[in-house]
Structure 1
Amino acid sequence: MSGININQALQQFHQQTKVNRNDSEQVLQAAIMHLLQQQPVYGQLIAQLPRQHVTTPSEELRDEQRAFAPLFGLAWSQSTLILRVNDCHWQQAQNEGVLLALLVHEALHLLWQHPLRYLHESGQKVDIATDVAINQVMTTQIPGTWTLGWLNQRLQRQLPSNADSAVYLAALNQVAVGATDHDHTTSEELTRSSQESVTDNSQSRYAGDVGQQQDGQLNELKRNEPQLADSHDGWASSSVNDELARANLRQRLNQALARTTPAQRGKLPSTVQAKLASFAQHRAHLPWTAILGKLIGTVPHGKQDSRARFNRRQPQRMALPGQIARRRVTITVFIDESASISTQTTVQFINELTGLTRAYELALTVFPFDAAVHDPIRLSSPSQVAEKLHARHVGGGTSFQSVFDYLKADRSQTSTSLIVILTDGEGETSIDAHGYRRVLWVLVGQQGLSVQTPPGWVANINE
């Protein structure tokens, strides 16, 4: 992977309208490796993100126009952030330096929690405000993107430097409401002139508004109009659970802290160091029981009668009950059998689990595992826990991969099954989760999870 010449690969990509996913992924992995070596905090943040490759058609665009289109964008998948890569837009990565800067830009959006903060608010003013805030922090600038200087020029104001995006958003909103004369740029004029919303669906606007211009006019526009560094289309979502999203994002930030040294963090800009320090001082997570409760509440299992609903087939007959989703959930629990986890801790864990789910029709199956998954223990009441786990087998090494291999082989388990893994966190650094993402890792003790990019959520039994 380290042998890839990124600049040469990018030159080849620039000759293609759509890059092969495998080639794209190879260059991305090489770039992330460079980032881990040069700027480890940013590298850790990006390395943890699951990646989704998309190919938005752009064959109708000329080369100059493709340079506007964003290569990367953060997006929500359920309540987890992913890095979306548009393999039709590699022209934006002019060289290795720009590619690394684009990845740093995404890492800073994560660190500033922009996708979470603007989960329910979107639009071009949000896009501009967040990019202006982020771009001031970057040591390597991405050519042609929004800066504080550009924003001050457009608004004809002198906004404070290194301010939060909310400050710049308020200024943009104030212009939209208060500008009445032609000496100030209105929000609509700012939007029309900037053409900055270069997202997955922006090609049609370029084809209609920009595509009719001459090449010289296009080049002038490219030189003089700031653009967004990335796509923000995936930030706003009505299907994301706010608490789960917050817990998941904080988990990623805390993992980046745990996997870097103070010396490595000390090389970052002071504003980034301050942001990291704030997370180190406030490492509160959503408790594991709260996360599990949220996950249980999102699993429908058939229908049940309810007098609170009309019968859809015969709504005029008030005596007939309607139906609502039945929240029955099957939880499969895997318990690490390493010697660091005592039987007392395991019993406490199962008791908390069954106590939490008394309000649900719960089917609970427990699998001990070490280097392999052992025979299941089916529990119908907490009183059985101590008896059935008393003679548990304490194994040697721990293999998380064995858990996911078992899930894949078990036809009763689907990708939407709810999986809980109780562990001390010590195991492999990478696994193939076989598509399972509804996983709650519950850690015992202070040891972090060894898996670099774990699917699902990570919590501590003591939180």
Structure 2
Amino acid sequence: METHIASEATLLYQKACIIIDAYLKESQDDAPLQIPEEFKKEFFSLVDKVNLSLMEDTDNFYGYFFFQMGKEIRFDISSPTAVHFKGAKYVIYFNPVIFLILTGPQMESSIKHEILHIVSLHLLRARELRDRYSKLALNMAMDVVVNTYLDHLPPYATTLSWVNMNYSLTLPPFESFEYYVEKIQTALDLRSEKKDLPEDDSIPDEKIKTSYDPQKTHDIWESSDEVDAQTLQKFTEKYVDASQKGQLSNYLESMIDAMKDRESELPWNLYLKKILGTVAIGLKKTTARRNRRQPERLDLPGRLRAHKAKIFIALDISGSISNAEFKQAMQEVFRIVKNYNHEITIIECDDEIRRTYRIHSIKDIKNRLDIRGGTKFSPVFDYANGQHIDLLVYFTDGKGEDRLLPHPKGYKILWVLSGKSDFLSVKEACGTIKKLKPVKAEEDPLDMTDIEKGGYSMNNQEKISMDID
């Protein structure tokens, strides 16, 4: 099988080069690269043979997962394979001129590589961190994680040993993506990011890439459909469940368990703490840090983020929210006020905004208005769009419109659903969705003394199973 795949790959590579040469000689600048149907048929026949090998392997999870994916050819990606989420399914793309020079086992590893990115929820996790870290740091950190579990990698693959050697690091194996990206970004900040990158010998046309580029390996993710985190995770779980036809390796089983437990691993309050670090306003000069651009100039001050954000906290006061749930939401607001020194505005809304007010301390929080209208989310977003805010936290039972009008602009969004809610009605939530632990449907009025005692703990909400500095 290995020899047969190698000979087929050689012939197909020659045909791919002919296609590229013809395009460069005959096409106009804005003309798309046309791929002959006969080439597509022969190429995917080879890919089917590779997948057959995956399905015959003891760890056949990858073969069944790959079988469910859409498959297309693109000459404009800077890696052998790439994935994104399009049309309610995962699609894997192949660049023939990079993929066909791999050996059979390397082809299998390239497919496994993309599937591990999906199972690790890297498409989601990278999205959450892209405002804090460079594209190169994110790409390398993600590849370090998945390549740790793969054999038969191509020589240019980003591995832990390669990163340690080229950036003078001593990173241990089997750490999280978030751990690696922070360490790698620090190393990148100490030197020019271009210094250690392989030269790009691609043909100078954006429609054709002929070599691997670590800065662009996941660019295609940006063209994925805009779906909220909860929806994408549910789709991923369906793919995973349909792929488990045999015994899983230990590392795959651990990855899948971590994926399915992601909600409980990162309680909403810890997630809030995490994103608050990404919405700082402005920069302040400091002599405690060297200038990033010219570290050798000790006379130039460095810069630190000024950690003060403008936050809106929207409270759903519609008739579908019980007093107990409203009380629970106010307790969460108290924790935000107590622990974060930011500019915070409360917005109370049912089918329209009923009241807005600024809070500086717990004493500023007001009792609930005695209004029980329907539920609309759009009035809050319409108001927020004109206020230049950094973060909107929306406490709700999730039952409102299926579409936001207008579309949110320029700020992060955290939806916090009441414990009895299973989903958010908005199809494109444009933010992250978390849940509170269910509360008893008691109808006692909100007693602010319960909050002011300060005895409330988020440990009553969700089990905290990870630490965040």
Band the TM-score falls in, shorter-chain normalisation:
0.3 to 0.5
TM-score scaled to structure 1, two decimals?
0.45
